[in-house]
Structure 1
Amino acid sequence: MPRNTLNLVLLLATTLLISACSKQGIYDSAIGWERSSAGLEPEQVTVGELEIAYLRSKEAVDGDTVVLVHGFGANKDNWTRLAKEFKGEFNIYAFDLPGHGDSSKPLNIGYRFEDQVGYLNQALAKLGVERFHMMGNSMGGAITALYSATHPDQVQTAVLFDPAGIFEYESELVDLVLEGDNPLIPKQEGDFDKLLDFALEKRPFVPWPIFDVMEEKAIANREVNEVIFAAIRDTGFEPDFRNAITNIQAPVLVVWGKLDRVIDYRNADVFVEAIPNARKAILDDIGHAPMVEAPEESAALFRDFLADRQP
């Protein structure tokens, strides 16, 4: 059993012995432990009428800043494993986009990529974060690409993990959605388990109390998830996104899991061809979330990417 997993199991066992905790209490303890291990603490920032939750490094370091943007239906805690690899090396900010995690979830605001770029830009401005590396996964990858094109003076480099936005090569997900079945939106008990199996090739161990709470949260978010998915669904078939990313000035690394069933890895070539200064890395045994499935390898790819840019 991996050491991190063993530590988490011991934490849960200790928590259960100390008191008859609720599943929510166990979940909160486990999430808090994961964040603390990565050197992160939770905060909130107000943008207009929205409350945006985020994680940040507890202690500032003499290094660059990295901004992390999760995918559809996910949240800021998808990044704790990768953030742990960067502890003491970079200043980390991981956001819950509106509609996700602990951020506001109104049904009547814009949820297209460009809308999320706007909310994120306002949040970063309020926090005084002016220059940074940016990483995004899936929907967050598309938002990262569009942010880089829209605010080139802010983004030093961009890393796109299995980004959405282009569907030149269709995936198993596209076929399922066209048939009326979207595995990314859990609707009932058992659907969250199917979602993890569908999206992740190397699924991390999640103890039952934590899994149950994660499933309950996912099902509770069904309505807002359907609104968000509808808002972004057709973006990959519109020319605006493809045209926009040709304006990216920052160096870009596209990382893709070859076994991704959500978005076909062959779309990496389309991104690299469209973005002036981009390269790709394909991970053979990984699915849709390399930063979750292979955090050490993802971190190493980023470090090598930065090293190649040094004069």
Structure 2
Amino acid sequence: MNAESRYTRVRGLLTHARVRGEGPPLVIIPGLGCASWMYTRVARELARARTVYAYDPPGHGRSAGRPGSPRTIEGLTDHLAAWLAESGLGRVPLLGHSLGGEVVFDLAARYPGHVSAAIACAPTGIPENPSVREQLLRLLLDLPRERPGLFLPALAAYTRSGPARMLRLAQDQSQHDTGPLLPHVLAPTLLLDGTHDPVIQAWTLEAICAAIPDATVREIPGGTHALTDSFPRTVARYTLDFLREVGA
């Protein structure tokens, strides 16, 4: 099932998404510095039942960007909300990976009309906001556990995004306090957690569930931080089952 590149002009920037499949829409929001092509494996699985949009934020993947922008996670969220409106997608389920999970929660709280369901896969920064140094150490621990075939696509994505943009967004995690926003996430919520993920601490998921009491949690045994790449079928199965259950 081939993917099609679609470009939408949002606030003067050509914004890219890789689209594949048929059926109701679902949008994938990438992690820090990541690009749409890093989510091909999970997008193929999800596309068996959905039209999947793998979205590239400004300055990521094949989306245009501006120097010094976006500077904040809220900036990422605002652009995503504008892109959803310009693309005519309306109210849709969103699957956010890593930092993308934080963006999805921010969007669900501040732009609830855009989100029919929130799926957060290995979400970072919520509600803990570790230092950039600690985040890097955790990612280094995770690196040997990931599929070797992900390394080159990830390197291409990080090179495209650039260290300056990634550093700004990572630093903003310490300023972006999502904790007060979480109780305002009213959309049905699914949390996906890998048991071998050194980036995510177990108590982080517990704190999210305390803030969003109706959230559903699914653990993936042996799952690494890049769950969408290492366990694409399992992530897709849990996601599609959840969306059927909540009617999203």
Give CA deviations for 1:4-37 in whole Å, capped at 9, x if unaligned: xxxxxxxxxxxxxxxxxxxxxxxxxxxxxxxxx4
Please give the secondary structure, in 1, of the residue aligned with 2:149.
coil
**1:165 Cα offset (Å):** 2.9
Aligned length: 246
Choose which of 257, 266, 276 in structure 1 pairs with 2:194.
257
Residue of structure 1 equivalent to 2:235: 298
Query: Does the aligned pair in 2 maintain the 1:201–1:285 contact within 8 Å?
Result: no
Kept in 1: contact 2:131–2:171 (CA 8 A): no
Unaligned runs of 5+ residues in structure 1 are 1-36, 185-193
Q: Distance in 2 between matches of 1:165 and 1:229?
A: 9
Separation of aligned partners in 2, 1:200 and 1:47: 37
Q: For 1:113-262, what aligned pairs fall within 5 Å after superposition?
A: 113-168=73-128, 174=130, 177=133, 182=136, 198-199=142-143, 201-205=145-149, 211=152, 215=155, 218-219=158-159, 221-235=162-176, 238=177, 241-262=178-199
User: Are residue 76 (structure 1) and residue 20 (structure 2) matched?
Assistant: no
CA separation in 1, counterparts of 2:13 and 2:222? Answer: 39
Label 1:216 to 1:248 Cα distance change in 2 as closer, same or farther (>3 A): closer
Which residue matches 1:286? Answer: 223
Q: Which has the higher contact order (CA 8 A, sep 6+)?
A: 2
Could you say if the C-alpha distance between residues 104 and 233 of structure 1 is closer, same or farther in structure 2, counting changes exceeding 3 Å?
Answer: farther
2:7 and 2:174 map into 1 onto residues whose CA distance is 28
Q: Superposition RMSD on alpha carbons, in Å?
A: 2.6
TM-score, L = length of structure 2: 0.87
Q: Which runs of 5+ in 2 are unaligned?
A: none
Partner of 1:85: 45
Identify the residue that residue 24 of structure 1 maps to in structure 2: none
Displacement of 1:116 in angstroms is 1.0
Question: CA-to-partner distance for each residue in 1:203-226, whole Å, 9 max, x for gaps?
Answer: 1435xxx82x75366346122222
Deviation at 1:249, TM superposition (A): 1.4
Partner of residue 55, structure 2:
95
Question: Partner amino acid for 2:155?
Answer: E
2 CA distance for matches of 1:105 and 1:127? Answer: 18
State the alpha-carbon separation in 1 of the partners of residues 99 and 121 from structure 2: 9
* Partner amino acid, structure 2, of 1:224: R
C-alpha deviation, 1:232, in angstroms = 2.8
Residues 145, 158 of structure 1: 8 Å contact kept: yes
Q: By how many angstroms is 1:94 displaced?
A: 1.1
